[in-house]
Structure 1
Amino acid sequence: MDLRRVMIFRSVARAGSISAAARELGWTQPAVSQHLAALEREVGTPLLLRGPRGVEITEAGRLLLARADTVAGQLHLADEELAAIAQLRRGSVRLAAYPSALATIVPKAVAAVHHRYPDIDVTLVDAEPPEALALLERGDIDLALVFGYDRSTDLGLGLRRRSVGAEPVHLIVPPTSPYAAGPVSLVDLSGEPWIVGCERCRSHLLELCREAGFAPIERHTTDDYVVRQNLVAAGLGVTLLPEAALTAFRHPGVVVRPDDRFGRRSISICYRDGADLVPACAALLGELHP
């Protein structure tokens, strides 16, 4: 059955006549009659008996009217629920982000959303960029905050990317290092043991060292920026860390050597095509910035 015709039938049944329903609907009487006739052909039995004083509902019509009332009630509830979502009186959004962003960028953004829209439910997932993008492609999350270096990661079909900003990468050395003060370059560090991070960070280091003419001595590997700083503080090597990692945690026993030659990493938010038009997602997208 055509749902629109069922709702027209309901209007006629409740109004008591075709002319009265036509006025309520803003239609012409012949147009309403045509839809009623088409509906009766679909169900195979009369639903209304026409008379000089209006219409009389048949047994089949009373059965359909009861169902139509239920449908109308559910549609009204759906309309109210959709309006609540559109007006951000309710809604939810799921965000995956890497650890240093979860410790710096994300809390401020989520707090701002909660302040403006208390009934928006934001769920956070700790995930490195490859895992976050996989979750996004599967539909397990709505937004993925990721990072990359000079080359952007190709996105899957139907995914979009929006730049959030960029941050510098710094050299981290122990205070006893001869490179804790004065000029320093990567070539100077060719004999030092390195503490490397995730595969993307490691690839960035390898590329920088290759351009400088050497291969780094990879002594320790850990994604944890707190552990990396502790290893450096203990004199077990040197490492590169982005600004966010040092903002989230700064070990007092390390020396940070800023230098543009250590590169920058870009930050971006990824989402499925059209998700930026969903009110709850749009609200969080608008708050995600450095």
Structure 2
Amino acid sequence: MLSLVHLKVLAAVARHESVTEAARELHYSQPSVSHHLSRLEAATGAKLVQRIGRGIRLTPEGRLLANRAAEIVGRVDAATNELAAQVGLQAGRVRLAANASVLSTLVPSAAATLARTYPGVELSLIERHPVESLRMLRHGEIDVALVFRHADAPVEDEGYRLRQIGDDRIYLVSQRPDDSVAHHRHSPWIGGCDACTNELLTVCRREGFAPRIGSLSDDMVVVQSLVAAGMGVAILPGLALLAHRRPDVHATEIPGIQRQIHAATYGDPPDPPAVAAVLAALAEAPRPRAPAPRAPTDG
């Protein structure tokens, strides 16, 4: 018979691909972790872990069960939090993941609102790319994912429920003021993640050309540094420019292009009370001002 403890151990081993690290996370001894894995293999009748040199590797069967185990453990943790928060939201823990620009601009004011209204609710924050955030949400490792998408972008899984909490305008970042995308038909461009690069391709396609991508970075600090050094031009969302802005680059808003920022949850409604409180705080939090269209001048 499968037990929650066995599944929790397997999920930890899968995360770290190490019995030692799993034992450290769970505060178990290494022999105890190995014992739980053996009991789980006996219960399932399948080989779940292979020894590779001094390390381990999950078998395909082990990986399949580990994915389900992570989801089950996450759901149990969420249910525990929901029960703890049921009485007047005196307690509860909500795990939220978002990318750096959203985490440093939209989330702090919402966190402050939540702390004032429900001081017993603990908000744990994790920096992750939206793709990774949605995966964690599906597996029950977090409770809320803040993600960006365009209005016509498909939702990856029908189990996600999206609540729009704001828009994020897109800017051309270059060395000169009052610039335009069309001026950089032959310039090198700085791309980012797959979604960001697709966004760049869409922007340039509207101007009738395909960008020549010379560099790649998801880091808003690195991107602006490369622009300032003359390594190329880039597009960045307004929240990234609010989170970090070099004084020696210029930002020009690109008309007609913007992202939608959504708070994503997973599973059937209603949301647990603590999660609903976080969503309300996100919806009610004041929005940061849009970045200035150009860099300040010296003097």
Band of TM-score, shorter chain: 0.5 to 0.7
Describe the superposition over 1:133-176 as per-residue Cα deviations: whole angstroms up to 9, x where unpaired: 111111111111000134223142322111111111011111xx
Name the structure 1 match of 2:139: 138
1:190 to 179, 185, 190: 185
1:163-202 mapped onto 2 (5 Å cutoff): 163-174=164-175, 180-182=176-178, 184-202=179-197
Give the unaligned 5+ runs of structure 1. 1-80, 175-179
Q: CA offset at residue 275 of structure 1? A: 5.6
- Residues 192-250 of structure 1 show CA distances to partners (whole Å, capped at 9, x for unaligned) of 11111221111011122223221111011000001111111111111101110011111
Residue 284 of structure 1 corresponds to 278
CA distance in 2, matches of 1:274, 1:157: 10
Helix, strand or coil for the counterpart of 2:171?
strand
Q: In the alignment, which of 211, 220, 225 is matched to residue 225 of structure 1? A: 220
RMSD: 1.8
Equivalent residue for 1:209, pick from 200, 204, 208: 204
Give distance in 2, aligned partners of 1:219 and 1:243. Answer: 23
Identity of counterpart residues, as a percentage? 39
Q: CA deviation at 1:253?
A: 0.8
Q: CA deviation at 1:117?
A: 1.4
Q: Residue 223 of structure 1 aligns to which amino acid in structure 2?
A: D
Q: 2: CA distance between counterparts of 1:160 and 1:113?
A: 21
Q: Secondary structure at the match of 1:286?
A: helix
- In 1, the alpha carbon distance for the partners of 2:275 and 2:160 equals 14
User: TM-score, with normalisation over the residues of structure 1?
Assistant: 0.66
2:251 corresponds to: 256
SS in structure 2 of the partner of residue 93 of structure 1: strand
Partner of 1:99: 100
2:125 paired residue number: 124
CA distance in 1, matches of 2:255, 2:117: 38
Q: How does 1:71-90 map to 2 (within 5 A)?
A: 82=83, 85-90=86-91
Question: Against the structure 1 CA distance between its residues 160 and 84, is the aligned structure 2 distance closer, same or farther, given a 3 Å change threshold?
Answer: closer
**Contact 1:232-1:254 within 8 A present in 2 as well:** yes
How far, CA to CA, are the matches of 2:266 and 2:106 in structure 1? 21
SS at match of 1:87: coil
The verdict on how the C-alpha distance between 1:211 and 1:88 changes in structure 2, with shifts beyond 3 A counting, is same
Question: Which aligned runs of 4 or more in structure 1 are off by greater than 4 angstroms?
Answer: 81-84
Q: What residue ranges of structure 2 are gaps of 5+ in the alignment?
A: 1-81, 288-299
The match for 2:242 among 239, 247, 262 is 247
Provide the residue aligned with 1:157 in structure 2: 158
SS at match of 2:263: strand
Contact 2:172 2:181 in 1 (8 A): no
- In 2, distance between residues paired with 1:200 and 1:113? 31
Would the aligned equivalents of 1:94 and 1:143 in 2 still touch at CA under 8 Å?
yes
Q: Give the counterpart of 2:263 among 251, 269, 277.
A: 269
TM-score, length-scaled by structure 2:
0.64
Change (3 A) 1:221 1:276: farther
How many Å separate the matches in 2 of 1:82 and 1:130? 29
Does structure 1 retain, via aligned residues, the 8 Å contact 2:173–2:236? yes
The answer to whether the Cα contact below 8 Å between 2:165 and 2:262 also exists between their aligned partners in 1 is yes
Q: What secondary structure is seen at the aligned counterpart in 2 of 1:284?
A: helix
Q: Secondary structure at the match of 1:125?
A: strand
Give the direction of change, closer, same or farther, for the CA distance of 1:215–1:83 in structure 2 (3 Å limit): closer
Larger Rg: 1
**Structure-1 separation of matches of 2:242 and 2:180:** 23
> How far does the alpha carbon of each residue in 1:20-44 deviate from its partner, in whole angstroms, 9 at most, with x for none?
xxxxxxxxxxxxxxxxxxxxxxxxx
Supply the AA of the counterpart residue of 2:201: L
Aligned residue for 1:148?
149
Distance change (3 Å), C-alpha of 1:138 and 1:156: same
Q: Secondary structure at the match of 1:154?
A: coil
Match of 2:246, SS state, is coil
